[in-house]
Structure 1
């Protein structure tokens, strides 16, 4: 399949979407259909952390992106930081040790190869198209070519969100865009960190660190633990469980 055929197939999949989020999801599903990969997601990242999952082909792909947010490491973050594709054909390879926590988590989920292609807006990386495979091995030439095209197309729905209010000046519009992107996903995380701040009298940054640490030790994503907090199934007043030095994995449940 040639470049133009791939571009046409991916663009067609996005056409007619009712929203930017739907277009991003459609693009990710088209990657699975056309590029012979097992999963795809579009991550939005800024200042060394993922800000949200903008699109995904499946719940498993969304979970792969959640691991990057929870653990603070992964291919998306490296691709955005360095502005170049990150290609790992075998996460179990002993010579690969960039993301020990992320690699272990995704391999437990059955994923053994990950690839992140920067998504750029005005030459600035703002996220990445992440492709996942259960099998070990590099992307085929067709998959790599199509992935680069898909990463280019992924910028379009992002721009739709970031430019949603044309009456704002350039700086305000950019700030509004990031706020919109942040609000699209992981609202539960920001709500849960607010509860941690109130219950433990800590800063917002520390609350997020403790949420992530507790999620990791419990074998959960930050979003999953956030929902437990919001549903009052975690006792935030248990100082030992939520202390900075002890984040045990068998936390108390109940209000």
Structure 2
């Protein structure tokens, strides 16, 4: 990378400033990361209470899907970055010595991703999400690329702060509760979970577990399974712990 770290900051900041605050700024930040940091994809994900709650910025559909995998499988570098409060490196997911996130790793490799790097995003002193960077080729993130990624993660706090501020004005009901607003981006999953609670006579944790298990076993994301349930194309049976349910694959 021929630019200085100050020049990288200026370009990232300029990309975000050229669009409206919030999700659009997060998308532009991710797109700029691809151009400046020699990565093939980027995503900004919200993480709350140990689970990803939404993709609030991405450089494209492929990066959004990779972030969705982490929600579906309940594992991945962004969750570790938030839990540890530090950068998580996976220079080669296909390395025989790489044993982290087995389900996520397999799905990412099938999507042509070999390197994944996650950096925590802080709002004041609280870690609220992660910046995920993806590479098709294996190799570490180092030097100015790593320094630039740290700057991008710092700047990513701005669109997340905007979302935190704006959600109570944009959504009806009592959404100011911090346990409520992070779930809005994947609300279809929680609506489908509610249907499963009634249909299967299980608690919320069991219902979400069954939805995720079905997603894993059928090669779908949790959101895809949720839409199948909500639209009546899929009905999970009481003894279905991940196999194909009636009316869907």
| TM-score, length basis structure 2 | 0.91
Is 2:238 the counterpart of 1:239?
yes
Secondary structure of the residue that 2:119 maps to in structure 1?
strand
**Unmatched runs of 5 consecutive residues or more in structure 2:** none
Is 2:177 the counterpart of 1:153?
no
Contact in 2 for aligned 1:71/1:216 (Cα 8 Å): yes
Match of 1:81 among 68, 78, 83: 83
List aligned pairs for 1:1-255, cutoff 5 A: 1-164=3-166, 175-176=176-177, 179-183=180-184, 185-236=185-236, 238-240=237-239, 242=240, 246-248=241-243, 250-253=244-247
Aligned pair count reads: 242
Contact in 2 for aligned 1:161/1:180 (Cα 8 Å): no
Change (3 A) 1:82 1:140: closer
Change (3 A) 1:54 1:178: farther
Secondary structure of the residue that 2:89 maps to in structure 1?
strand
**Unmatched runs of 5 consecutive residues or more in structure 1:** none
Question: Aligned equivalents of 2:167 and 2:215: distance in 1?
Answer: 36
Secondary structure of the residue that 1:132 maps to in structure 2?
strand
* Per-residue CA distance 1:125-161 (angstroms, 9 max, x = gap): 1110000001011124222111100000000111112
> Which stretch of the first structure deviates more once superposed, 155-164 or 65-74?
155-164
Secondary structure of the residue that 1:239 maps to in structure 2?
coil
* Per-residue CA distance 1:37-89 (angstroms, 9 max, x = gap): 10000111112111111111111101111111111110001000010000010
Contact in 2 for aligned 1:163/1:177 (Cα 8 Å): no
Secondary structure of the residue that 1:63 maps to in structure 2?
helix
* Per-residue CA distance 1:2-37 (angstroms, 9 max, x = gap): 111000100111114224011111111111111111
Question: Aligned equivalents of 2:166 and 2:22: distance in 1?
Answer: 10
Question: Aligned equivalents of 2:9 and 2:238: distance in 1?
Answer: 54
Secondary structure of the residue that 2:156 maps to in structure 1?
helix
| TM-score, length basis structure 1 | 0.89
Contact in 1 for aligned 2:215/2:222 (Cα 8 Å): yes
Contact in 1 for aligned 2:48/2:182 (Cα 8 Å): no
Contact in 1 for aligned 2:211/2:242 (Cα 8 Å): no
Question: Aligned equivalents of 2:168 and 2:53: distance in 1?
Answer: 23
Question: Aligned equivalents of 2:197 and 2:179: distance in 1?
Answer: 23
